[in-house]
């Protein structure tokens, strides 16, 4: 079996940095995406316009050209389209790389991969069973509560007894 590539190993290392700014695809725009895109522009790998890099956060507008506001009354901002487009491309390539690596490992080490899948399935069964039992209990409690509330809210009308008609006598000939 081949060795795990260093770029995959690096993805699995813990990183204590905690970015706090605007995020694009859950990754900090200011400390990761902008420097990365500047670097790729420098190397000629991308050509993100300078205005997008200089003003990455833009005011959002409605279709009629008016400034867009959220339901809370705040103006809505968006990431410049060239940056957003590059992040989307990188994301798609990242997913493809993960899938390709998984396929290579699954094909190159069929027994080992199958063993991992089986171990995960077996280890997950008690958790799935516990969650199902807890969910069933929670649903039952909600149902009982809803029935109790409904019963308290609606007075039950007692059925009115209707007089029973006596059978007519049958004439015997």
148-151 LR contacts (CB < 8 Å, sep 24+): none
- Whether residue 165 is contained in a domain is answered as no
The verdict on 61 and 139 lying in the same domain is no
Model confidence, pTM: 0.66
- Whether residue 84 is contained in a domain is answered as yes
The verdict on 82 and 118 lying in the same domain is no
The C-alpha atoms of residue 55 and residue 86 are separated, in whole angstroms, by 15
Where does the chain have alpha helices with state H?
Answer: 6-11, 34-42, 50-54, 81-108, 110-153
The radius of gyration of the chain's CA atoms, rounded to the nearest angstrom, is 32
Dihedral angle sign, alpha carbons of residues 146, 152, 153, 155? positive
Q: What is the mean pLDDT of each run of 10 residues along the chain (173 residues)?
A: 83 73 92 96 97 97 96 96 97 97 96 97 97 97 93 71 68 64
pLDDT of residue 68: 97
Q: What is the DSSP letter of 20?
A: -
The verdict on 87 and 55 lying in the same domain is yes
The verdict on 132 and 78 lying in the same domain is no
Give the structural domain span for 120: 110-147
Give φ, ψ of 131 to 5 degrees: -60, -40
- Whether residue 20 is contained in a domain is answered as yes
């Amino acid at each position: 079996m081949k060795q795990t590539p260093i770029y995959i190993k690096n993805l699995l290392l813990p990183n204590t940095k905690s970015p706090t700014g605007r995020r694009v695809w859950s990754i900090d725009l200011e400390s990761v995406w902008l420097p990365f895109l500047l670097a790729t522009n420098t190397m000629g790998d991308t050509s993100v316009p300078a205005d997008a890099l200089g003003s990455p956060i833009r005011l959002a507008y409605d279709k009629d050209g008016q400034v867009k506001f959220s339901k809370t009354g705040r103006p809505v901002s968006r990431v410049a389209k060239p940056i957003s487009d590059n992040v989307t491309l990188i994301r798609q390539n990242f997913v493809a790389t993960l899938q390709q690596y998984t396929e290579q490992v699954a094909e190159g080490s069929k027994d080992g991969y199958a063993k991992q899948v089986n171990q995960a399935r077996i280890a997950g069964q008690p958790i799935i069973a516990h969650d199902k039992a807890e969910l069933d209990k929670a649903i039952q409690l909600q149902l009982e509560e809803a029935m109790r509330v409904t019963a308290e809210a609606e007075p039950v009308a007692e059925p009115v007894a209707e007089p029973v008609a006596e059978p007519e006598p049958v004439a015997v000939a």
